[in-house]
Structure 1
């Protein structure tokens, strides 16, 4: 099973640009997404960890950036930890739409003028074009894109067709709750930093990712359903196994997970020197497996304890 490469930056860019008629504008993208039908909430209990010392507490909560409506995760220990916290810290705080468009133009579009499909073999091109048709996107409109950007847009649109809704995503709900309670919202990265990571991937790696995404377009929703089930159980070990299967390329794994997790572990160590309570919410894959943020914290002699609820 291949991992869906979704994070808050890429989701924000895809939806922001389509909403304002940016470089990825098309009838399929620009059309208003119908409001999902109301469904009875299903209680789920995703994993929560806590790191603390005498005067500092940091809760670590793994997020899913886009969910189907009706998952009741923001309650019990998670809501209690959020309410106790002085601030919310996410992967990024989204900039305004104009800045988002500028950053996408810089990092998501090919600066050499080389078209997207010219980077593929005929077989790869056929797989890609067929997948774009299935999710309702005009392949020709994506010729200026870098492969990673086309892949993520394909994934987002495919998941929306499968019933996923960004407004049900964890970050969206946490951000709304923080604003309502007037909690400060911070971030461990910027949108530009995240885009630089993807832009630095080799063309070969990007094309491989795009073609693999296209090849699994029919399984996209069921694959995401599986990862959400593991998140909701919760089963961090199972989620880590799925993530590792999807990130078999060592360079991709290091760039997207290990290196960033190491940076965030160092950030947490620094934050423990400051009093207060923080609710830190990052993609659930960063809190799973042998290269997780929690595991890397052990190098500093810091223990992250699982909150049982």
Structure 2
């Protein structure tokens, strides 16, 4: 479940560093009800917010008529990162931020069960400490998570963002962050928080259970309570990590989104699903600025 929860929290750019796997399309499922919110000043909608999952099993059906109508009515697409994320760009950003010469091997940064979990994750993924020489713990965690997700069949090319780009041709695309600023959120974490993230990812690699499928189902059903619970569980339940990866970023995005709306823009805003639920999610924050935000069914 850690892998899917990371994709809820950020774009997981490390997925672009590896070759995507290919799995059969999932069996037919009930009609999707992925959550969509309309933002207004009490009258006609002025913008829309969609929570996304950034990597999906091929063939996942998530769109519905109200989402298509919102995309058609919007004058621009606003995502976490505006420019398409290429493997070269993601790799270069990781190289700029992830390396600190002289670091101990990743396994030596962990103790007891956490260290054992990392070594077992290495064995499962056919990796070793030497492949992450001088890389900070956050970067190791993202790469382990990316590889495990891909082996489970998730693919960034099949995620929501590429489809949104394809279905909103000719409309400008704006980003709330850059590749560097998103990786920089992790890079700014204290070593203890980075090691917590690495340990949690290693445990999930070893024992994935059915968490990713559960998370995907919650998203497809538009289950706000379920997604709120997941956005406050495991590493996102750690106050330091929750603040850095979700709450602080949401507050920064709020200023940009509020300004766009007040300037008369009609944005279709698509960000990780964890950013749109709960008391620190974008819909709730926009209400504090006086906007009417309502769920669209």
TM-score strictly above 0.5: yes
Residue 257 (structure 1) aligned to one of 246, 267, 289: 246
**Aligned residue in 1 for 2:182:** 194
**Aligned residue in 2 for 1:294:** 283
Are residue 64 (structure 1) and residue 65 (structure 2) matched?
no
> Is the contact made by 1:135 and 1:161 (CA closer than 8 Å) also made in structure 2?
no
Deviations 1:244-282 (A, max 9, x none): 122222111111111111122222221122223211100
- Shift in Å at residue 83 of structure 1? 1.6
> Is the contact made by 2:9 and 2:273 (CA closer than 8 Å) also made in structure 1?
no
Q: For 1:186 and 1:62, how far apart are their aligned partners in 2?
A: 16
Alignment of 1:44-123 (within 5 A): 44-53=32-41, 57-93=46-82, 94=84, 97-121=87-111, 123=113
> Is the contact made by 1:107 and 1:195 (CA closer than 8 Å) also made in structure 2?
yes
> Is the contact made by 1:127 and 1:215 (CA closer than 8 Å) also made in structure 2?
yes
Alignment of 1:159-308 (within 5 A): 159-178=149-168, 181-220=169-208, 222-246=210-234, 247-308=236-297
Deviations 1:99-121 (A, max 9, x none): 43332112122344443233223
Q: Could you say what the CA RMSD is over the residues aligned between the two structures, in angstroms?
A: 2.4
Are residue 36 (structure 1) and residue 23 (structure 2) matched?
yes
**Aligned residue in 2 for 1:6:** 7
Are residue 152 (structure 1) and residue 157 (structure 2) matched?
no
- Shift in Å at residue 47 of structure 1? 0.5
Number of equivalenced pairs: 292
Normalization by structure 1: what TM-score?
A: 0.85
Q: For 2:24 and 2:73, how far apart are their aligned partners in 1?
A: 33
- Shift in Å at residue 5 of structure 1? 2.1
> Is the contact made by 2:250 and 2:280 (CA closer than 8 Å) also made in structure 1?
yes
Q: For 1:237 and 1:291, how far apart are their aligned partners in 2?
A: 13
- Shift in Å at residue 123 of structure 1? 4.3
For residue 284 of structure 2, give the secondary structure of its aligned residue in structure 1.
helix
> Is the contact made by 1:115 and 1:144 (CA closer than 8 Å) also made in structure 2?
yes
Q: Unaligned stretches of 5+ in structure 1?
A: 19-31
Deviations 1:178-225 (A, max 9, x none): 3xx222111111111111110011111111111121112244362121
> Is the contact made by 1:56 and 1:276 (CA closer than 8 Å) also made in structure 2?
no
